[in-house]
């Protein structure tokens, strides 16, 4: 199947997460407890959106990943990730801490 026809989740699981595992040593494929893919609802203005990936460590969201399709601007990914962090629902975080790092693709 061509890359532009694959689902976003398939791309995240098969391409983005292995890249982080190879470079950083985490998240491990079996680490489903700490890796949230399209699961955290974030209210932005009148809509609810979900960041592509949020990685947790001991209940605290450490980093947020926003990936864009080929041809989309990285600036758009960064702006969207920053918006997710600013509006991150603190009830999805131990101690109300928002993600501290963002990564965009």
- CA 33 distance to own-chain centroid: 14
Query: In this predicted structure, what is the pLDDT of residue 10?
Result: 87
On whether residue 23 sits in a domain, the answer given is no
- Number of domains the chain contains: 1
Tell me: the pLDDT tens digits for 13-28? 888 889 888 888 888 7
Query: In this predicted structure, what is the pLDDT of residue 89?
Result: 96
On whether residue 66 sits in a domain, the answer given is yes
Query: In this predicted structure, what is the pLDDT of residue 42?
Result: 97
On whether residue 57 sits in a domain, the answer given is yes
On whether residue 59 sits in a domain, the answer given is yes
Cα–Cα distance for residue pair 87/38, rounded to 1 Å: 15
Structure tokens at 85: 């962090």
Whether 4 has a pLDDT exceeding 70, the answer reads no
Structure tokens at 95: 């101690």
Phi and psi dihedrals of 79, rounded to 5? -60, -40
On whether residue 87 sits in a domain, the answer given is yes
76: containing domain: 31-104
On whether residue 78 sits in a domain, the answer given is yes
Q: Would you say 60 and 97 are in contact if contact means Cβ atoms under 8 Å apart?
A: yes
On whether residue 37 sits in a domain, the answer given is yes
Give the predicted TM-score (pTM) of the model. 0.84
Tell me: the pLDDT tens digits for 21-69? 888 888 877 788 899 999 999 999 999 999 999 999 999 999 999 988 7
Mean pLDDT of 86-95: 94
Whether 1 has a pLDDT exceeding 50, the answer reads no
Phi and psi dihedrals of 35, rounded to 5? -110, 120
Q: Return the exposure string of 25-40: e unless at least 16 CB atoms fall within 10 Å of the residue's CB, then b.
A: eebeeeeeebbbbeeb
Cα–Cα distance for residue pair 26/53, rounded to 1 Å: 13
Confidence of residue 5 (pLDDT cuts 50, 70, 90): low
On whether residue 67 sits in a domain, the answer given is yes
């Amino acid at each position: 199947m061509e890359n532009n026809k694959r689902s976003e989740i398939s791309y995240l699981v098969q391409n983005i997460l292995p890249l982080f595992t190879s470079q950083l040593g985490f998240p491990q494929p079996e680490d489903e407890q700490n890796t949230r893919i399209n699961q955290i609802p974030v209210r932005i203005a009148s809509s609810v959106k979900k960041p592509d990936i949020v990685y947790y460590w001991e209940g605290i969201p450490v980093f947020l990943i926003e990936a864009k399709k080929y041809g989309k601007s990285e600036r758009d990914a960064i702006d969207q990730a920053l918006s997710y962090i600013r509006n991150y629902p603190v009830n999805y975080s131990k101690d109300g801490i928002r993600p501290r790092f963002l990564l965009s693709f």
